[in-house]
Structures are given as C-alpha cells and as structure tokens.
Chains A and B, each alone.
Chain A
C-alpha cells in the first residue's frame, strides 16, 4: 500500500511574533514544547510505581535567531524587553498563514530569560540563542 503524504510538511514558514514585531524571517530554529508534571500515584499493595497527571507544563521556549542589531530587529526588540524587565507575548505558528485548526497560533506570555549579546567564533554566522521564560497561561487560537 502506498504511503500517504497527507498532513506531512516541511518546516520552513514558522511565524514568530515578539511583542507584535514579526521576527519570523530571522528565525533559524524554534522549540516550543509542552509536558505534564507526573505525580506519584502508587500506594501500599502496589508492586509497581506509577503516576497520575499533575500540572501542565509549557517548557521555556527557545529560539535561534540570526543576530541583527538594526532597529526593530532581533537585538533591539529583545534588549528593550530585557532592559525594561517586561512581560510580553510571543505568538508562534507553524505557518505564516491564517489561524486554523491545521495552523494553531500559540500565544505565550514570556520574559527574556537568557539572550546573548555577542556569542560566536571567528568566521561563524552570528546567531542569537534566546530562551524565554513562561510568565502566564498560554492560549491557542485556531481561528
């Protein structure tokens, strides 16, 4: 039986909006993950450990950008947020098109937890590996 390509896609058009500023075209890599805190569930009489689901976790988002010191680009946007100790939203989508069930938009309140000013080796591309810290509840829009 032939394989199916339905729904399979290549990641090339992620949308990454930082405090309303579209920095998508400088993103090389993005990581947004969710998880669940396991809570111990086994008790006397059980001969095996097991857990039940605890609180939901949104892992700190990580983005690798091309470092760019121009106004309204990577450094200026993130530095302003860091300097002001601000909480702001990042909005991430798998594709830049409209929100849809097949293109959910994740809005995540964050602050800048870790960002490089200059990090790199002679001759390398100048990149900025940034880690945001979760600062509130996330929401997912499909329309």
Chain B
C-alpha cells in the first residue's frame, strides 16, 4: 500500500477505491508493478512524498547546577 497523488485526469479504480479520484487528490492503494509504471510514466499519478525522518536530537549535557560558593551557608 502506498500513497499517490492523482494527476490531471480523473482516475477510476473500480474494486480498489469506490469513488472516482479527482485531480490533485491523495489516495492510498496498491497497484501492480506494471500498472504503477504506466501511470507514473503518463503523469496520471505521482508518488506522495513520504515525510523525511526527523534527525535524532543531538546529545546535549544538562547544565550542571552551580555548586556552593566557598564560604557560603550550606543549604539543602
């Protein structure tokens, strides 16, 4: 199953998607390899871009709490 965007012509995927797919609409379906290749080649569909995985957050050290100042009163 993949997500596609409908090109400039209406698509009718009887048996897969019940209603006609209008130009510009996104839809999920599974094409055979041959049919997908033809539809992509003719511009009838484009593959929806999958969102790029967000990069792992860089490791950062937590700030070290300031220690007691020499001579200061010790507080818990």
- A residues adjacent to B (C-beta < 8 A): 17, 19-23, 70-73, 76-77, 79-81, 83-84, 86, 88, 91, 105
Contact = CB atoms under 8 A, between A and B. Distances in A.
Size bracket of the B interface: 10 to 19
B73 interface: no
B12 A22 contact: yes
Nearest to A24: B10
Contacts of B9: 21-23, 72-73, 77
Interface of B: 7-14, 20, 34-35, 37-39, 41-44
What does DSSP make chain A's interface, helix, strand, loop or mixed?
A: mixed
A84 B14 contact: no
What does DSSP make chain B's interface, helix, strand, loop or mixed?
A: loop
Residue from A19, A20, A23, A86 with most neighbouring chain B CB atoms (10 Å):
A20
Given A22-B20, A84-B34, A71 B42 contact: yes
Given A20-B35, A22-B20, A72-B7, A84 B41 contact: yes
B14 A88 contact: no
Nearest to A87: B34
Name the 4 nearest CB pairs between A and B, nearest first.
A71-B43, A80-B41, A72-B7, A22-B10
